[in-house]
Structure 1
């Protein structure tokens, strides 16, 4: 059963539970509304998926639902903005247009990307091929402007989802056209940023256009989204002073601290990052009888350029220093020439999804989803040194993904009555296969993408076949139960890493042995409703998260980065528990969730920084980790006064490494053990507030707030320095937004994120103060 240890952290947790319980118990009497907000003044839209209410027997997983009415409080530039204020969620979007917008939910941090799932109209957006910053969901395959509803599911308590739902699932539904309509929206954004020696503004813009129609039973939709944005420097390069040979005298270094508190000299930033993203979307739906189909085609073309690193150092003649040994302020420093190299990235992706839903009879329905996601191109071209370096040539490096993507197929049967009206069943099967192939080449002309000599290559495949069944039982008017299980058969295959042929000196592929596993994950949820105003639910689940291709096979060495894979990783084995207490409010609800997550064989990815800014990444298992927390949530329309809508959540979480003997050995000294340490990138406290008030029928103004306490970025918890590059800082960010409808077709808006221009770091810097100017036009 769920237990909280008697530690200082758990005492804070218990106090949080007690405080939240008192707040709920003092709530005014309210009408029961099936735990769904009474949406007012919202244009009715048709979506495919429907969220579950907490008084239904098949409600096993705590959830949070957002509609277009809720979006009004958020400055939205890209899709991940929609969920950034939801309970116990963090989106690591370092700038608008960031391709590395990873997501963390509850006890799974933002770099444990394969512990969360994202679907849009049944199509997977989660990227379960890679982890850490490379494993961000493909958010841009759906545009923020087409979203009608979002539901966040917390934890793996439903047998319908795999162990990749250890953190949670984001379910996005877009509107299904019901008439001829045209939409356009545009935004201009500008950001102020001042850190280290960078002090400037960077700007960007977004344009979106869509057209849709409903012709009889046929619905058609097409859209185009363009984003172009300049971002603040993402890295600030430093080195520790040390003895060097034949140093040149220099000035301009920035003396500061590393995240571990060492005295270092910063010698450059990575420069402004320019990102351009184009998205094309086509949807074709057709209704025939009791059946509905939807064909979903999404194409992404993304380009990113990092070609303007700014060295801080100058020689005595005022010339910028791009590498070499220097002496500055009496301290010797080495500047790796490759650290200030330039790079360009091109990525093109295509996703095709097919969805089918219909009634087999009055009691049984079928839903099927197919998806093929393909990386058409994903190439990064890097110079060996900066073009301003005296020894610059076109020599460089080209890294490339080839034959990379996934295929998924799923079919579900739902029986609304199984023998009697009180028992229901959902059952189904699912297949997933993933393929990743990555190669690194030395190039004589990096700018042209010339691939001359293969230096590293690795890749492989994984597949999962699953079957599940979940029963829902309305025992009586007060009690309900859901119970089920998910069986999964997992296999890795065709894995390989680089191996140098000692005879020829050429790089060849060395095969990696196949491994497989079969696991059964039972689920249980029991609900109790003493009356129409209160809900109490206990959910228990086991979940297995299988290793992904990168963790098993991704082994390479590129400029400034080394990756070491681990082909013998076991599946993560999790026991998850959640107690939910909910009180219905007029036009809303108040809710407490208390949860624990115990994970065995947790796959931990750590990065060790090398001198000059390079890094080594490894994947290793941790015997056992634990996270326990509490969430307090209030969502209500007409909060206190009419036309004031409010969404508030506050969460506390305590994390710990329980055991790590497998990784560290039995004779590890206590001072070097990570047992008892906090898990990385997991702040104890998180909170969000969104409030929107309708000043008139045409004019709405909103305020939002994000808070997080600081955290560690390393499992050894040695990164204790705050407000420096590389740190995991806490933050308090205030946002404002107002929009005015000139008429039925045209709206204007202005918004601000990070009003106080707080500079904080999530290793890389979060954005500074950002101002938005928006325009939207609708014609129906």
Structure 2
């Protein structure tokens, strides 16, 4: 706390030493001028924001519908993937594992980012890594009117899960009767290792909106079908084996460590089908409004066409066993080329109520309930084509899993001091996860044939917060806030099968709790007309989630070990923003630094091919990770010519492990990771979107995504590039054009990854992809 007070004093003294000049809100919050090409005005459920908004406490980035025209958007996460310091690991269209990383929080630190749509949580704070991706498909890209990204945990209104940032999605309110239809087709040719095929997909979206006096009604149906490229390519190292069958087709390459690797097969095409049904009912009465939001999702993912590259002397494909080619012997485990299928049904319900209690007092309440009605994954014990396959498998099933949240907050605009606004409120969150894995005699039906793992538990967070925003004078503003949180875990358990007992044993975990207070500070200064300087400082605590504490399971592909002793992550965050406003855009630079103590990291160790499972995952705490970064953002409308709009950003982020002494001091034989790069954190990331409005009916757009190589492991020993499992850098170029055939009929065509670059983020990114879309309003 002494260091925090010192930093506050230094920040105030430094900014106070500067001179004083012009107005604040009049200069920095004015709306940018419009292009000659006007876009239909849209009313949103929440607060409408302008693209140039810079945020009162957090640095922000705002996307309006005018900005979204440049993007080949099939699902919601596409709309934010070009924003500063963001990475979305979307492996293919329709991917359920589209993880989100923001600033110093990598794509697998999913509990450090939050996503809301109309106030309803889409973030998934039950699990982490690939299983912790936001439930993006609970809201369709076609219904979104505005997206705002808040960077860092600088607002007391959000928990420590905002260490990376918060994405706020607002959808449109129907103002008249309107039926909207989107038809999309997408296709890619993909080739890697022994796979070469053309993969297609479709999206159909239909919505109906109507306004009946004070009642707004919105109904929508979204169906997405897609076939993806293989998500895993399997290999083994050279072995010394007896009785190996001679084969051909083995492909020689390297693994992520640069060692020789011999690839024998892949998972084949992954077929994803998602149906989403949504009802939104909004009601306005006098100065009050409410929104009921109900979304139901039904998802199926099937992978039953694995490819073996190996053939025997008779020309038949072989699927498991010991094989040899040109003196190189390998082992293909029985389950490696097995099939899998996921059935998932989810129901999300949210209610938002807001209005004026008095002219100077505003109230807002948000309630949500998310339930997994079914989440069942089944995997076969062998490849389906393997003559040894007898129908057995493993089943993973979630029971009584979901969350509930309740929040109420008051905003007081008159508290006896000119320019002072106070926001205060409370929030409660409850999470429960129960996960069973068991053997199955018939893998497709997932029948029960004995547990292989069980784990689960509950967590609760109760919070109270207050935020004071004060426009001191036209040149200065100050924000002070604090958030008090009480976290609790209970009813935790995990399995430990003891051979001496007939039953499958469970270990109960002792309840744990933690109380933390997170102070917030922000100071803004206008040194000259159209300029803004803002310094923000915050503490934040990110509490462990259920999976990190209790998950323990074993499957054909991975084993997970529980860690109920994890402590909350402890972060100190700084941001210094300099901004220049233009008549039609802005330039902004953010210098940020953050130090996370007890950073919870999931680390997967690959095991030799003959092991019972190919990898084992544990959650561990790295004592301290320090991240320093700088973002340069330039968003301009009408660049050089009135018809050209540009959104450009580039970020340099250096994330280093500065302390790992808790583990290393007690294990002197462990190779130190202090000084290593934090995993999945590229040093450089950049994005460019450019749109040329050729006419009132015709738009031409181009975009670019860039990131350099990073590491996937704390040891930083995975240095090989363009191989399965790597964390490659990439440069991905896209184009898009839309043309209004009539006032209510639009045709679009686009290409992503124009150069057909093949790169990996553990799994392969998609190849060159073509999009054809048709939109109709009536």
TM-score (norm 1): 0.94
* Matched position secondary structure for 2:336: helix
Q: Match for residue 683 of structure 1?
A: 682
- Contact conserved, 1:33 with 1:587, CA < 8 A, in 2? no
1:99 and 1:750 map into 2 onto residues whose CA distance is 25
What is the rounded CA distance, in whole Å, between the counterparts of 2:54 and 2:396 in structure 1?
51
| Residue 51 (structure 1) shift | 5.8
Q: Specify the alignment match of 2:463 in structure 1.
A: 466
For 1:725 and 1:540, locate their aligned partners in 2 and report how far apart those are by CA, in whole Å: 40
- Does the C-alpha gap of structure 1 residues 674 and 683 become closer, same or farther in structure 2, counting only changes over 3 Å? same
* Structure 2 partner of 1:561: 558
- 1:56-87 alpha-carbon deviations (Å, 9 max, x no partner): 99700000000111110000011100000000
Distance, in Å, in 2 between the alignment partners of 1:484 and 1:413 is: 14
Distance 1:52 1:631 in 2: 21
Match of 1:81 in 2: 78
CA distance in structure 2 between the partners assigned to 1:664 and 1:596 by the alignment: 25
Query: What's the counterpart of residue 702 of structure 2?
Result: 703
Structure-1 residue corresponding to 2:720: 721
How many Å apart are 1:666 and its aligned residue?
Answer: 4.8
Do structure 1's residue 428 and structure 2's residue 420 form an aligned pair?
A: no
Contact 1:628 1:654 survives alignment (8 Å): yes
After superposition, give the CA deviation of every residue in 1:79-138 in whole Å (9 maximum; x if it has no partner): 100000000000000000000000100000000000000000000000000000000000
Distance between the aligned counterparts of 2:294 and 2:449, measured in 1?
35
Aligned to 1:409: 406
Is residue 614 from structure 1 mapped to residue 614 from structure 2 by the alignment?
yes
Instruction: Give yes or no for contact 1:37–1:589 (8 Å, CA) kept in 2.
Output: no
Residue 665 of structure 1: aligned partner: 665
Residues 270 and 303 of structure 2 are in contact (CA less than 8 Å); yes or no, is this contact kept in structure 1? yes
Distance 2:55 2:419 in 1: 11
Aligned position for 2:625: 625
Q: Helix, strand or coil: the match of 1:676?
A: coil
Equivalent residue for 1:217, pick from 197, 214, 218: 214
* Contact 1:32/1:586 (8 A) holds in 2: no
Q: Which residue of 1 aligns with 2:646?
A: 646
Q: CA deviation at 1:511?
A: 0.5
Contact 1:57–1:527 under 8 Å retained in 2: no
Counterpart in the other structure of 1:369: 366
1:440 aligns with 2:437: yes
1:452-463 aligned within 5 A:
452-463=449-460
Q: Distance in 2 between matches of 1:53 and 1:304?
A: 39
Q: How does 1:209-248 map to 2 (within 5 A)?
A: 209-248=206-245
1:292 equivalenced with 2:289 (yes/no) = yes
Matches of 1:446 and 1:53 in 2, distance apart? 52
CA deviation after TM superposition for structure 1 residue 411, in Å? 0.4
1:133 to 130, 133, 153: 130
Q: Give the CA deviation at 1:48.
A: 2.6
Deviation (angstroms), 1:36: 4.8
What's the secondary structure of 1:500's corresponding residue?
coil
Q: Distance in 2 between matches of 1:663 and 1:141?
A: 41
Equivalent residue, structure 2, for 1:694: 693
Distance in 2, Cα, partners of 1:350 & 1:410? 20
Q: Is 1:51–1:65's contact at 8 Å kept on the other side of the alignment?
A: no
- 1:57–1:473 CA contact under 8 A, matched in 2: no
Q: Bigger CA drift: 526-535 or 539-548? A: 526-535
- The equivalent of 1:34 in structure 2 is 29
CA, structure 1 residues 37+564, in 2 after alignment: closer, same or farther (shift >3 Å)? farther
Change over 3 Å in CA distance of 1:51–1:567 after alignment to 2: farther
Cα pair 1:35 1:54 within 8 Å, conserved: no
**1:57·1:481 contact (CA, 8 Å) conserved in 2?**
no
Quote how far apart the aligned CAs of 1:506 are: 2.2
CA offset at residue 248 of structure 1? 0.7
Q: Deviations over 1:155-188 (max 9, x none)?
A: 0000000000000000000001111100000110
Provide the C-alpha distance between the structure 1 equivalents of 2:344 and 2:91, rounded to a whole number of angstroms.
19
The answer to whether the Cα contact below 8 Å between 1:683 and 1:708 also exists between their aligned partners in 2 is yes
State the shift of 1:772 in Å.
0.1
Classify 1:360/1:57 alpha carbon distance in 2 versus 1 (closer, same or farther; 3 Å).
farther
SS at match of 2:567: coil
1:101 equivalent to 2:98? Answer yes
Give the match for residue 309 of structure 1: 306
Q: Equivalent of 1:354, from 351, 356, 366?
A: 351
SS at match of 2:61: strand
The 5 Å alignment of 1:158-173 reads 158-173=155-170
Assess if the C-alpha contact under 8 Å between 2:50 and 2:64 holds in 1. Answer: no
Deviation at 1:194, TM superposition (A): 1.4
Q: Which residue of the partner structure matches residue 331 of structure 1? A: 328
CA distance in 1, matches of 2:633, 2:173: 30
Measure, in 2, the Cα distance between the counterparts of 1:39 and 1:105.
30
- For residue 446 of structure 2, the aligned residue among 449, 452, 459 is 449
**Mapping 1:518-529, distance limit 5 Å:** 518-529=515-526
1:667 shift after superposition: 5.5
Deviations 1:345-403 (A, max 9, x none): 10000000011000000000000000000000000111111121121112111110010
Q: Say yes or no: does 1:580 pair with 2:577.
A: yes
C-alpha separation between the residues in 2 aligned to 1:692 and 1:32? 26
Q: What is the distance in 1 between the residues matched to 2:454 and 2:33?
A: 55
1:488-567 matches, within 5 Å, as 488-567=485-564
From 386, 389, 392, the counterpart of 2:386: 389
Measure how far apart 1:665 and its partner are.
2.3
Q: What's the offset of the Cα at 1:420?
A: 2.5
CA distance, structure 1, for counterparts of residue 478 and residue 325 of structure 2: 70
1:338 alignment partner, SS class: coil
Q: Which moved more, 1:138-147 or 1:413-422?
A: 413-422
**Aligned-pair CA distance for 1:42:** 2.0
1:735 maps to 2:734: yes
Alignment partners' CA distance in 1, 2:186 and 2:720: 31
Q: Alpha-carbon deviation of 1:200? A: 1.6
Measured at CA, do residues 667 and 556 of structure 1 come closer, stay the same or move farther in structure 2, by a change above 3 Å? Answer: closer
Partner SS for 1:206: strand
Contact 2:748 2:772 in 1 (8 A): yes
Q: By how many angstroms is 1:288 displaced?
A: 1.0
Q: How far does residue 663 in structure 1 lie from its aligned partner after superposition?
A: 2.2
Deviations 1:278-335 (A, max 9, x none): 0000000111111001000000000000101100111111111100001112111111
Whether contact under 8 Å (2:589, 2:632) holds in the other structure is yes
For the 8 Å contact 1:75–1:751, the answer to whether it is kept is: yes
With structure 2 as the length reference, what TM-score do the two structures score?
0.95
Tell me how far apart the structure 1 counterparts of residues 278 and 583 of structure 2 sit (CA, whole Å): 39
Is this contact kept in 2: 1:636–1:646, CA < 8 A? yes
Q: What's 2:20 paired with?
A: none
Question: What does residue 479 of structure 1 align with?
Answer: 476
Q: For structure 1, which segment, 391-400 or 432-441, has the greater mean C-alpha deviation from structure 2 after superposition?
A: 391-400
The CA distance in 2 between the partners of 1:56 and 1:493, in whole Å, is 42
Cα distance in 2 between the residues matched to 1:776 and 1:33? 36
Alignment partner of 2:599 out of 602, 620, 629? 602
- Pair 1:203 & 2:200 matched: yes
Report the more deviating stretch, 207-216 or 493-502: 493-502
Give the whole-Å Cα distance in 2 for the aligned partners of 1:273 and 1:316: 30
Q: What is the Cα deviation at residue 203 of structure 1?
A: 0.5
Distance 1:93 1:37 in 2: 32
SS state at 2:533 partner: strand
Shift of 1:662: 1.0
Return 5+ residue gaps in structure 1 as ranges. 3-30
In structure 2, how many angstroms separate the alpha carbons of the residues matched to 1:35 and 1:87?
22
